[in-house]
Structure 1
Amino acid sequence: MSPRKPSAHELTQEMIVEVAHKQFTEKDFQQVSMRSIAKELGCSHGAIYYHFKNKAELFYVIIGAYFTQLNKILDDTVNGTEDYETKLYNVFVGFMKFGLNHQSQYELMFMVRDVEIDGLSQEAANLSYEKFAQSLQALATNKLLVSDIHSVFIALHGFVSHYRHYVKDYEEAREAVNVHAKFLVKALT
């Protein structure tokens, strides 16, 4: 006798998100389907549609949580009690630390491109970038140009992109992270 499949009412969004996240980090966006998620959960794909209207919405829920986590790091740093230069340094370290400790999530946030999800994921990325830009502007001792902020973001993104898959986590790149963060602080001050 096979186990009973959960109905749409027993299936929770958290259960779906957990399995979907696993599949999105193991495969490309296009290789994941509502049916493959349902199969792993042992339910019908219709049960998943009860909670999410489509795969793009499900993906957005997953990356939205990561952007919230990254934005919290920025808020906590900006609202800290350290001096401005230390806060600026901590923003840079926090960004790189997040990216290196959450490599698969970082890839989903900033590197997955697909017509089906670009609108939603780009919206979350843009809001997070705005938070980043506002954080830098609030911490800078002089007015930063838009190009300065963009260059710093690209430098941080490039750092994380370069080290992802070469290091297991932040600890393995700690020294390089510190050197890069100090370099960026020096460039802005």
Structure 2
Amino acid sequence: MARKAVAQELSRERILEEARQLFAEHGYHALTMRSIAKAMGYSHGALYYHFKEKAELFYALVNQDFHMLLQRQKEMLTRTRMGDIGQLEKLMLEFIRFGLENPYHYEIMFMINDSDLQIYARTEQAQCLELFATVVRAVIARQPGNEHKMYSIPWSLFMSMHGFISYNIRYRQSYEDVKKLADQHVKYLCQALQPAPQLTHATV
């Protein structure tokens, strides 16, 4: 019984991994459970053993991918101090690294251009964005006079990261290919959160 359970779990993982790439390459509507199974060398009955329909398979992918991203972000945050600009820089680099090391994951999570499919990722996207916004707001809160930025800055920073990731995914750049540029990009974005230096007038 134990051996059978392990085999079934491995089969489910293989389905998820290969279906992710198929969805990213061909789009959701171009695929059927039968075509997914055929591309994998499975019978479509093997897929139905684990997933009742294509939508259930797609949601399982989204849920798994966001869980992995959130776990990585939370683990990183436990090693740094809330409110530090350095913590925010590390969180942003971790997000960029995740996107470029897992392009098929990222496309499914953030780049599916279909309103019917976006509902599957809405809750998970909100959790991810709220975690990021919490860290950004902790940095802003330590700088008096920046309260008006609490809601606009997190979204602007996220969109800047998303643009960086999606551009490099399009041109098949890995994280290692653009690691130095990613670091510079994050530091440049975070500079806008730091207070401007006070000018001093020289006395005569």
Give TM-score scaled by structure 1 length.
0.82
- The structure-2 alpha-carbon separation of the partners of 1:47 and 1:116, relative to structure 1 and needing over 3 Å to count, comes to farther
Deviation at 1:41, TM superposition (A): 4.6
| Among candidates 138, 163, 168, match of residue 173 of structure 2 | 168
| Among candidates 149, 153, 175, match of residue 154 of structure 2 | 149
Deviation at 1:147, TM superposition (A): 0.8
Partner SS, residue 53 of structure 1 = coil
**Structure 1 unaligned regions, length at least 5:** 1-8
Deviation at 1:167, TM superposition (A): 4.5
CA distance in 2 between counterparts of 1:10 and 1:132 reads: 36
CA distance in 2 between counterparts of 1:188 and 1:73 reads: 24
CA distance in 1 between counterparts of 2:42 and 2:102 reads: 29
Deviations 1:61-96, CA, capped at 9 Å, x for gaps:
112222122212321222114681211110111111
Deviation at 1:121, TM superposition (A): 1.6
- The structure-2 alpha-carbon separation of the partners of 1:88 and 1:43, relative to structure 1 and needing over 3 Å to count, comes to closer
**Structure 2 unaligned regions, length at least 5:** 1-6, 195-204
- The residue type paired with residue 65 of structure 2 is Y
Deviations 1:12-53, CA, capped at 9 Å, x for gaps:
422322331232233111112111122245554344334223
CA distance in 2 between counterparts of 1:36 and 1:18 reads: 15
The sequence identity of aligned pairs, in percent, is 34
- The residue type paired with residue 93 of structure 2 is V
2:198 maps to what in 1? none
Alignment of 1:184 with 2:184, yes or no, is no
Give TM-score scaled by structure 2 length.
0.77
- The structure-2 alpha-carbon separation of the partners of 1:178 and 1:58, relative to structure 1 and needing over 3 Å to count, comes to same
Is the CA contact 1:167–1:173 (under 8 Å) kept in the aligned structure 2? no
Corresponding residue pairs, total = 181
Is the CA contact 1:78–1:139 (under 8 Å) kept in the aligned structure 2? no
Cα RMSD for the two superposed structures? 2.4
- The structure-2 alpha-carbon separation of the partners of 1:73 and 1:139, relative to structure 1 and needing over 3 Å to count, comes to farther
CA distance in 1 between counterparts of 2:120 and 2:89 reads: 30
Deviation at 1:110, TM superposition (A): 0.5
Q: Which has the larger radius of gyration?
A: 2
Deviations 1:77-136, CA, capped at 9 Å, x for gaps:
221146812111101111111111112221111111224422112222122112221232
CA distance in 2 between counterparts of 1:34 and 1:43 reads: 10
